[in-house]
């Protein structure tokens, strides 16, 4: 997933009119969300059905990945990357 985003980064930079420093935050915020997702979903996996939580996380990760190219504003892209990171962290915590 990271490699796919890395190859799309030049196009996203052009579409969102951002410099390289701002674009690098799209990678960083995903890992911030990943950390939060690991902690949050690790707790939720202990309390609720593991398979249900895994399906929610996998669906959320897929949906946020599919929606990323359709972000028209930088703030939307950052928010979507954070949410995607939370779900990706949940997938990792459930393995």
Nearest to 12 by CA among 77, 67, 95: 77
pLDDT at 44 over 90: yes
Q: What is the pLDDT of residues 61-89, one digit of tens each?
A: 999 989 987 888 889 989 999 999 999 99
> Model's pTM, two decimal places?
0.86
Gap between the Cα atoms of 92 and 95, Å rounded = 6
Gap between the Cα atoms of 86 and 9, Å rounded = 20
pLDDT of residue 4: 67
- Reported as a pLDDT band with limits 50, 70 and 90, residue 1 is very low
């Amino acid at each position: 997933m990271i490699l796919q985003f890395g190859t799309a980064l030049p196009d996203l930079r052009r579409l969102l009119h951002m410099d390289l420093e701002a674009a690098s935050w799209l990678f960083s915020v995903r890992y911030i969300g990943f950390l939060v997702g690991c902690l949050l979903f690790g707790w939720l996996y202990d309390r609720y059905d593991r398979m249900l939580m895994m399906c929610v996380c996998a669906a959320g990760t897929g949906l946020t990945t599919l929606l990323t190219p359709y972000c028209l504003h930088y703030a939307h892209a950052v928010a979507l990357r954070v949410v995607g990171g939370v779900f990706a962290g949940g997938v990792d915590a459930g393995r």
